[in-house]
A and B are shown apart, each in its own frame.
Chain A
Amino acid sequence: MAETGTAPGATPVARPPALAVGPLGWLRTNLFSSWGNTLLTLLILWGLWRVVPPLFDWLVTSSLVNVASSQECRGAGGACWAFVAEKWRFIIFGTYPADEQWRPSLAVALIIGMMLFSTWRGAWRPWLGLVWLGGTAVVLALLWGGFLGMTYVSNELWGGLPLTLLLTVIGLGAAFPLAVLLALGRRSDLPAVKAICVGFIELVRGVPLISILFMASVMFPLFMPAGVTVDKLLRAQIGLILFAAAYQAEVVRGGLQAIPKGQYEAADSLGLSYWQKMRKIILPQALALVIPPMVNTFISFLKDTSLVIIIGLFDLLSAAKAALTDPAWRGFYKEAYLFAGLIYFFFCFFMSRYSQRLEVELNRSRRR
């Protein structure tokens, strides 16, 4: 827009008036184009002025990092990062035995490693599922221990970030294929298959996650034969999987509905079987279409895992809360939640950015 000057042989271009280009022009068109706009701009500036300096002061200028005791923090006007310095291990690893914490650290690193590896499209092969299966088994083995000189750690003691990530990763990994099957089933020509899928989806969607977790933890054992117990963590995990699958199934169905009938007919007329047609033609297109809403469910799922606190599991958020029960460090809520929030944000933001990139990449090849 601001291109001026004369190309050789072209008619001279008149310079636009200074008020239309450059920083001044930008301000004029974007911030002060009308009375209403000017008013809004001023209001926002005023709001920023009221919020940012005190926030910065609390977060940085007046904050305390190195203190002899929590007492020093009490009177100060700033954030007490000393609390985080003192408690971060507990928030991240929960009640996992302190001198074994290299194991959950390694577990988290493994999970993050697999996440990063999966972002590479060259890895989108059937064996990627095996990588995740194997990786998750290694993570579980690490956490449990009881071999190679590692002491056994009961999963009642697992907590914090590894637990949150484990619930999320296993939950999404199991829920996604289930969701695809449910979505296909819901559009099936077979009345029985369709009825089961519709019934399941509507039932699970119609109930809050909290009650599913309660059912999983309290009612599920009632249905089991006497003597058979299913681990509390496993019950929570199953509840989470079913919940996520029902939501994701509807997202996938939205994508399936967007695929024109002609695609099905072309696949049929070439003699592809139902599963070949779905795998090669319909699902790749439908799933690419639903990346944004699907990532939306992924992100809320990661955060929803924090509800397992109600059945007594110590995920990241519960561990942050528990850290506050230490009498010496009672009351530093802001610091605890900010720290836990930042960790959640890190993972959610990563997913969100990645999905945006993926969307661009997949759409590039389908340009019309």
Chain B
Amino acid sequence: MTGVQHQAPDTQVAIELRGVNKWYGEFHVLRNIDLTVHRGERIVICGPSGSGKSTMIRCINRLEEHQQGRIVVDGVELTSNLKDIDAVRRDVGMVFQSFNLFPHLTVLENCTLAPIWVKKMPKAEAERVAMRYLERVRIPEQANKYPGQLSGGQQQRVAIARSLCMSPKIMLFDEPTSALDPEMVKEVLDTMVSLAQEGMTMLCVTHEMGFARQVADRVIFMDRGEIVEQAPPQEFFANPRSERTRLFLSQILGH
């Protein structure tokens, strides 16, 4: 498999999965996953529904537990040690398909909550930081509204800002645009592109192949719990090696 062929800004390893296996009861969701992500690398993960994409990235911040193998994030191995889990979660931001904003808090409070309580940041500073990120996702004027009053695209941008307020070193995205109406997909993708251009380490489960072409350093194809193929986007789309990848690409690009 190819490693990093683009200009990898830093050769340090951000995430490493070695021989990771996971079962739900009898069901083998993740099979011998090996994956190394370098700092600043942008990775797009695709694959058919049920192939284990969400499960894999959710193992990286321990929303799911793996049962075999090693997962090391930013030098910290994930075990049942709660301190380590907290340390990893402070460094890893996550954006969900269904936004998962806190509906009882305003947009600003959504963004300042974790900095204030987890990082013990003074409130005024947390608000300054939050406003900076809300400006970056271009919705500072919504700061005092409640999530329920925003459109889906705006909510997802708030969710991105909320994660960024913790100044994560790594961002995980699980199908961030799948729950959006088509006209809102672009505003969220634009935000992600600009994040990618600033050198954030990103793992992104998405079927937006345009996004993959534009920003990914590497595209990973998963099927039935395995990483079937990984390659830089040009190579991945022009020249898929496995039959399963070809089938998948023809289905998703075919029409």
Q: Which residues of A contact B118 (CB under 8 A)?
A: 270-273, 276
State whether B104 touches A269 (Cβ < 8 A).
no
Complex Cα distance A288/B103, Å? Answer: 12
A126 within 8 A of B: no
B63 within 8 A of A: yes
Residue in chain A with minimal CB distance to B149: A367
Segment from A32-40, A227-235, A259-267 that makes contact with B: A259-267
Segment from B18-26, B29-37, B90-98, B214-222 that makes contact with A: B90-98
A368 within 8 A of B: yes
The 3 closest A-B pairs by CB, nearest first: A266-B100, A262-B100, A270-B114
Contacts A280-B113, A284-B104 known; A265 to B96 CB distance under 8 Å? yes
Distance in Å from the Cβ of B73 to the closest Cβ of chain A?
Answer: 13
State whether B63 touches A271 (Cβ < 8 A).
no
Complex Cα distance A288/B105, Å? Answer: 13
Q: Which residues of B contact A265 (CB under 8 A)?
A: 63, 94, 96, 100
State whether B104 touches A273 (Cβ < 8 A).
no
Residue in chain B with minimal CB distance to A365: B146
State whether A280 touches B92 (Cβ < 8 A).
no
State whether B96 touches A262 (Cβ < 8 A).
yes
Contacts A269-B94, A270-B113 known; A365 to B89 CB distance under 8 Å? no
Q: Which residues of A contact B96 (CB under 8 A)?
A: 262, 265-266
Distance in Å from the Cβ of B78 to the closest Cβ of chain A?
Answer: 13
Number of B interface residues at 8 Å Cβ cutoff, please give it.
Answer: 25
State whether B117 touches A272 (Cβ < 8 A).
yes
Besides A268-B89, A281-B102, 10 other CB < 8 A contacts? A266-B101, A269-B92, A272-B117, A276-B117, A276-B118, A285-B102, A366-B104, A367-B146, A367-B148, A368-B148
Distance in Å from the Cβ of A255 to the closest Cβ of chain B?
Answer: 12
Residue in chain A with minimal CB distance to B98: A262
State whether A268 touches B63 (Cβ < 8 A).
yes
Number of A interface residues at 8 Å Cβ cutoff, please give it.
Answer: 22
- Of A267, A273, A365, which is in contact with the most chain B CB atoms at under 10 Å from its CB? A365
Residue in chain A with minimal CB distance to B117: A276
Q: Which residues of A contact B146 (CB under 8 A)?
A: 365-367
For the residues of A in contact with B, the DSSP-based class is helix
Distance in Å from the Cβ of B6 to the closest Cβ of chain A?
Answer: 28
Q: Which residues of A contact B90 (CB under 8 A)?
A: 271
Q: Which residues of B contact A271 (CB under 8 A)?
A: 86, 89-90, 114, 118, 166
Q: Which residues of A contact B89 (CB under 8 A)?
A: 268-271
State whether B166 touches A366 (Cβ < 8 A).
no
State whether B100 touches A263 (Cβ < 8 A).
yes
B61 within 8 A of A: yes
- Of A269, A272, A273, A285, which is in contact with the most chain B CB atoms at under 10 Å from its CB? A269
- CB-defined A-B contacts under 8 Å, sample of 7: A263-B100, A265-B94, A269-B163, A273-B86, A276-B117, A365-B104, A368-B148
Complex Cα distance A184/B149, Å? Answer: 30
Residue in chain A with minimal CB distance to B97: A262
Distance in Å from the Cβ of B90 to the closest Cβ of chain A?
Answer: 5
B162 within 8 A of A: yes
State whether B162 touches A270 (Cβ < 8 A).
yes
Residue in chain A with minimal CB distance to B116: A280
Contacts A280-B117, A367-B146 known; A269 to B103 CB distance under 8 Å? no
Complex Cα distance A18/B86, Å? Answer: 71
Residue in chain A with minimal CB distance to B166: A270
Complex Cα distance A265/B159, Å? Answer: 13
Distance in Å from the Cβ of A51 to the closest Cβ of chain B?
Answer: 46
Q: Which residues of A contact B61 (CB under 8 A)?
A: 268-269
Q: Which residues of B contact A273 (CB under 8 A)?
A: 86, 118
Residue in chain B with minimal CB distance to A268: B63
